[in-house]
Structures are given as C-alpha cells and as structure tokens.
Amino acid sequence: MEKKSNSGEWEKMKKEINELMTEGRDYAQQLKSQLGSSSSQESREHLAKKILESYHKSLTIMNYSGEPEQVSPYSHGGGSPKSDDSDQEPRIIKSSKKSMPRWTQKVSITSGVAIDRTLDDGFSWRKYGQKDILGAKFPRGYYRCTYRKSQGCEATKQVQRSNENLMLFEIIYRGVHSCSQAANVGSTIPVQILEPNQSQENENLETVKESLDIGHHNYNHEAHVHETASYPLPSTPNLESNDAYMLQMRDQNIEYFGSTSYSDLGTNVNYDFMASRDVGSASHSTSNSPSTVRLEPPYQSFDPNHPFGGFGGFYS
DNA sequence: ACAATTTGACCTAG
DNA sequence: CTAGGTCAAATTGT
C-alpha cells in the first residue's frame, strides 16, 4: 500500500501519453510528407522539434507521477455530451471524441501573396453550425469533414475570427482525418502546433498566447515567420460590413492552409490552450501584429481572386 | 434535383 | 442559468 492511490491519475497519464504519441505520429507524418516536397527547412525543423517535444513530454509523464494539476483536456465535451468519458478498456486508441487531438492554427491574412495553391488541400468541409460566442464579435463557424457520413471521417474544425484583427483567424482542428482525402494528403494536421495536454488552467491564457505569438516561438531562431498568407481583402476599408460574408469564404480557403506545401501562408504557430469555457475574456485575443507580415514573391495575384461578390470560380 | 449552406431550436456541461 | 456545441429543417446556389 504505497502507491496505488493514483489509479485515476494513471488513467489520465495513459490518456495524455496516448495523445502525445498520436500527435507525435501526426507530426512525423507531416514531416514525412514534407520531405518529398520542397518545404522550407525551418518547417521541417519545426516539425522535428515538435516530434521531439511530444516524445519528451511523453517520457516525462511516464517518468513522473505526481501532477495532480492535470485537468481533463476536454473540459467541455461539446460533441457528444451523452456518453461519459469512462476510460475503461485500455484498448488501442479508441475513436473517442474526447481523445481527439486538437490544434490551433492562426492565420494572418495579408495582401501580397495568393493562397491559390495552398487553398487546394483537398479537404472538404461542410458547415454544420454557427454560433455567436460571448465576447467575440464574430460568430464561430463549425465545420465537419464532408466525408463524415460516407467514410466516417470525424475531423472537425472551428473557425473563429479575431475581434479586432479581421485578418486574424483562429482555426481549431479537432480530430484527425480518416477519409481518403486525408490519406491523399498524408497529414491530417495542416502545419500548426499540436496541442499537448498541458492546456490546463492557464490563468493568463491571453498573455501566454500573445507572448508565444511574438516572442515565444523561438523554435526557429532563423525562421522569421516567413509564412504569411495574404488575402485580397485588406484593400477593403469596410471589412466589417462584408466580413461576415467574406469570413465564410475565407475560412473555406484558410482551412486549406498548409498541408502539402505551405510555402506562403500566413500561419502563426501558436500554442493553443483550450480556452475552456472562459470566453468572457479569452475573446480579447488581441493578436497584435505579429511579425508575420512578410511579402513574398507574388506567385499569382490577388486580383483574380475577388472575394467581393464573386470568388474566383466558386460563385458564378 | 442535388448538395451545401443557413438559421433556429435543442442539449449538455459548468 | 448561461454559454458553447450539435442537430435538423429550411433555404439557396449550381
């Protein structure tokens, strides 16, 4: 009777480790898919770092037992609230919605580059809901994989636009793609940072977030956030008017950011910390201008893409 | 006509 | 009770 009172914690640890390993695997997949492509070395380095991080954390958890601060990573079930999370069987990775990995992607849109190639990831999303978030000026869009019914892909994503920065979009991905499209891409994760389980109670979430945004991304000492997506919208003064409209289209495009080749996207890697239900203040994510504003050689041109009234080809 | 989207209602957790 | 998340019927676009 020395140490056996932590059965619950052990369960948590198992879960955490499982998630971490899954994330690491995803990262590895990304890295693998990028090896063949002409991706920036920084990106690969970043991925490698993330992989190592996942492993490191997993090992740390395994070697350390005594963190009572671990809260369930999925505070708010959301998805299916009916089934309780009874972790009974140590089965191998069950398709539990709660165990779904989550990662946040921040996308900054800037004029200069076109996301033509980037937006063609091959992932199809279907909007299934929209909700007004407290404190958030703009509604949050809920999307699911189009193949959810066909192939049972449970991947979902949420798109939330910043209150102030219309060019800042926070896309939260949940779950992994199990559809053929995912297989095509090879990596379910776009290009962002997966979120371990340490997203517990971050008192200063916002602070941490912003800090990470500007000065905490010291992963690549040489990477100057070259990834900046640009959109043909900054030219419009009255974004707020059409923002709602554009937002939708935007998210559609943004979702495709990263995946195959994210040579030119404005994705700001940020550690995502579940905002829990604390929207009251979290909504104030003033992602001031991150140093991501980078004008890359204009591959195509943001002209052809007219989101105002007629998206390039989508709207006739 | 089909499929995706829209919008409101409903549900559950905190 | 409130807020977030999902469902489902209605609508719209192609």
| Confidence label for A79 from pLDDT (cuts 50, 70 and 90) | very low
User: Which of these, A255, A230, A243, lies nearest to A308 by C-alpha position?
Assistant: A243
Residue A171 has pLDDT above 70, yes or no: yes
Residue A132 has pLDDT above 80, yes or no: yes
User: Which of these, A40, A172, A196, A161, lies nearest to A105 by C-alpha position?
Assistant: A172
Does strand C come within 7 Å of the CB of A140?
yes
Helix (H, G, I), strand (E, B), or coil: what is residue A267? strand
Q: Cα separation of A97 and A27, whole Å?
A: 20
Does strand B come within 7 Å of the CB of A252?
yes
Of residues A202 and A167, more confidently modeled: A167
Does strand C come within 7 Å of the CB of A17?
no
Range among A29-33, A59-63, A88-92, A273-277 with highest mean pLDDT value: A29-33
What DSSP designation does A130 have? Answer: E
Stated in angstroms, how far is A140 CA from B7 C1'?
14
Q: Rounded to 5 degrees, what are φ and ψ at A127?
A: -75, 130
Share of chain A above pLDDT 90, in %: 9
Does strand C come within 7 Å of the CB of A281?
no
Range among A90-94, A129-133, A183-187 with highest mean pLDDT value: A129-133
Return the minimum-mean-pLDDT range out of A145-149, A182-186, A262-266: A262-266
Which residue carries 């037992």 as its tokens?
A65
Cα A213-A174-A193 angle, rounded to 5 deg? 30
Q: Give the pLDDT score at A166.
A: 77
First to last CA, chain A: 72
For the segment 61-90 of chain A, residues whose CB is within 7 A of strand C: 76, 78-80
Does strand C come within 7 Å of the CB of A134?
yes
Does strand C come within 7 Å of the CB of A128?
yes
Residue A163, amino acid: N
Mark the nucleotides of strand C covered by protein, meaning any atom under 7 Å from a CB.
2-8, 13-14
Q: Give the pLDDT score at A36.
A: 61
Q: Cα separation of A204 and A217, whole Å?
A: 17
Using alpha carbons, list the distances in angstroms from residue A30 to A77, A156, A168, A185, A237.
28, 18, 24, 9, 37
Q: Where are the domains of chain A?
A: 100-282
- Asked if residues A197 and A69 have their Cβ atoms less than 8 Å apart, the reply is no
Nucleotide nearest to A278 (CA to C1'): C3
Stated in angstroms, how far is A277 CA from C1 C1'?
15
Q: Cα separation of A120 and A257, whole Å?
A: 8
Per DSSP, what are the bridge partners of residue A160? A170
Stated in angstroms, how far is A83 CA from B12 C1'?
11
Chain segment A237-283, per-residue pLDDT in tens: 333 434 444 444 444 444 443 333 333 334 444 444 443 333 334 33
Q: Cα separation of A71 and A46, whole Å?
A: 27
Average pLDDT over chain A, rounded to whole? Answer: 55
